[in-house]
Structure 1
Amino acid sequence: MSDCDDNDAGWIFYKDRPDWSDVKPVPEDDGPTPVVVIAHSEKFEDVYDYFRAVLQNDEKSERALELTKDAVELNAANYTVWQYRRELLKALGTDLRSELDYVESVIRLSPKNYQVWHHRRVLVEWLQDPSHELDLTEEALLQDPKNYHAWQHRQWAMKTFGLYDTEIEFVDSLLTEDVRNNSAWNQRYFVHNNYTGWSDINVQKEISYTLEKIKFVKNNESAWNYLRGVLIHDKRGLNGNGLVTSFCEELYRNRCRSPFLLAFIIDACEDAIKKNEADGCHNAIRAIELCDALATKYDKIREKYWKYLSNRFQKYKSENGDNHSV
């Protein structure tokens, strides 16, 4: 959608349309000394001059509704056009289901446009009918699995209308396709947080699921972050879940030096220290060694951060007299 299609076959400028002869177009007013003048095509100026006119006159008519379609085609991100279109829909009693079909076609052309998705949301609220929203957002996400607006709309529809039943299966399919898809990991957490809950059974199932994904791709920040999020709901914390500790130690013994593994062990060390549960796996001395390894070899781009963290563990060691060896 752009303002460059001046040579549309059959296009007639509004200024040349007899049924618009009663309307005086309102040119854009950038003031006497505009800082930056945007060069628009003749078609764009014609459409928006007439749109400003109907807006100024508060005209509620079918021709005004059609005019907003031309305005959307030229700039689908214009908030005022969409807002006025909604006012027209209400005033004219337009069939909202046909409007859903229309906005679906616009979404396919502008899938990352916030205003289009907002318009869709308002229509669904008016109709109280979310029956097409999961399919629509799935189509958008299959094209771009990280489309923020599609995810936002999907989560809104699910939370508002309780559409959770098959979402874990959908997320599984996305993670099978791309295990690094951070948006899909986030959606998985969203479903458990808002629907299934964090019973101990669910927590342990999610831990096992995540460890399998990490085993497949060890250098996957999204999965490690999800594991942290799940362990928030485990009363044993980062350092107390035997399955997780064994998994991490096995990776480490097998010479895995993913910075995300090392960072996780460091966090587990801090968790243990704060709970006075430091042991042979989780203690200040080990955390210092891992911080130094990250700073000098495995994550040098964040060297200053790891040195800062190392100094913090030095203080823990001094304060607590941590004598555990690695």
Structure 2
Amino acid sequence: MSETSSSCASDSADSNPPWVFYRDRPDWADVQPLPQDDGPDPVVRIAYSDKFRDVYDYFRAIYASKEVSQRALSLTMDAVELNPANYTAWHHRRFLLKELNADLNQEMDYIRFVINGNPKNYQVWQHRRVLVEWLKDPSKEMRFTEIILSIDPKNYHVWQHRQWAMAAFNLFEGELEFVERLLEEDIRNNSAWNQRFFVITHTDSHNGQFSGDVLNRELTFTMNAIRKVLGNESAWNYLRGLIDNTAESELTEVRKKCSLFCHELFEHCDRKSNSSSNLLGAMVDLYCDQLEASESGSPKEDLAKAQELCRILAKEVDPIRKQYWEFMSRDLLVRFESQSQ
């Protein structure tokens, strides 16, 4: 692929000219290729293709010589096409883009094409991030990441890039609505739950703590989601996150509210169903919180209830983690037995 014919990478593969090895190109005759040195006795010799070996032998040569030219930039395109995860090739491409004062908007078109073919590659997203920083223009990032997420709504690299753009350029407006649409499509989407927490932490918290109307709104939203799907671990984790980050002045009340919610569910759930393991685990945590904060009205009774829940989890509901729940039961006894005398 040459820079002139595909710098925006919009041409189809059929329109590209036949591949010519660099060693056979007259305009590269002045460059001595630099073979890869795997040592005298490599443990596993990689079977590189002739094309791969040819491109990277010449890439190593121009990298070593620090040649700054349009042909060197074109060569990096061939290098990253063969291995989009190669950090050095992308790093050197950025070096050349700056040295050549290249058109960065054209490069944005190119990296969009590359990302479409490699959406789970860290290096391509890092390259786009640097370009956005250089251009100081995040105007395309929210829409672009939304398009990629429509294909794979749990792509970690896309979410990471989206969060970076939002935090760096204050692009939080409308994000809660976007997240709610994703959760309507898949209420178990852990990435969307994580994004919701990211948004409210940056927009609706005070020093990372929640209170007032925001806290009540999030508790109501989360509890409604749990009622729809009791076994939704993502929603239970979100509820735990809200409790852990509640302002001290409202923490006791929030624990009571969550405890009442859990007991309401407990009265009507199938206690031998795997879907209730998150509920029972949350109840154990809440009993532990209350005992730890000396908020329990009857410590002895609450300790016994927590241990009974651990027994049910170990024996009936979550036997795959039997040893964990048995450990939790013993730990509760060690920590709170004296309190319950």
Q: Does TM, normalized by the shorter one, top 0.5?
A: yes
Tell me whether 1:158 sits opposite 2:170 in the alignment.
no
- Paired residues for 1:38-77 under 5 Å: 38-77=46-85
Counterpart residue number, 2:313: 294
Distance 2:194 2:309 in 1: 28
Alignment counterpart, residue 179 of structure 1, candidates 180, 183, 187? 187
CA distance change for structure 1 residues 32 and 315 in 2, over 3 Å: closer, same or farther?
closer
Distance 1:179 1:280 in 2: 37
- Paired residues for 1:266-285 under 5 Å: 266-279=284-297, 283-285=302-304
Tell me whether 1:210 sits opposite 2:215 in the alignment.
no
Unpaired runs of 5+ in structure 2?
1-12
Tell me whether 1:246 sits opposite 2:260 in the alignment.
yes
Distance 1:275 1:317 in 2: 11
Counterpart residue number, 1:307: 326
Q: Alignment partner of 1:283: what SS?
A: helix
Counterpart residue number, 1:265: 283
Residues 78 and 115 in structure 1, CA contact (< 8 A), matched pair in contact too: yes
Query: After TM superposition, which residue ranges in structure 1, 4 or more long, deviate above 4 angstroms?
Result: 238-242
C-alpha root-mean-square deviation of aligned residues, in Å?
A: 1.8
Counterpart residue number, 2:8: none
Structure 1 residues 203-235: Cα deviation after superposition (integer angstroms, max 9, x where no partner): 010000001100110001110010011122154
Alignment counterpart, residue 146 of structure 1, candidates 128, 141, 154? 154
Distance 1:227 1:238 in 2: 15
Shift of 1:173: 1.1
CA distance change for structure 1 residues 256 and 177 in 2, over 3 Å: closer, same or farther?
same
Once the two structures are aligned, what percentage of the paired residues are identical? 50
Counterpart residue number, 1:220: 232
Count of matched residue pairs: 316
Shift of 1:240: 4.5
Distance 1:69 1:112 in 2: 19
Structure 1 residues 16-42: Cα deviation after superposition (integer angstroms, max 9, x where no partner): 111111111111111212221110111
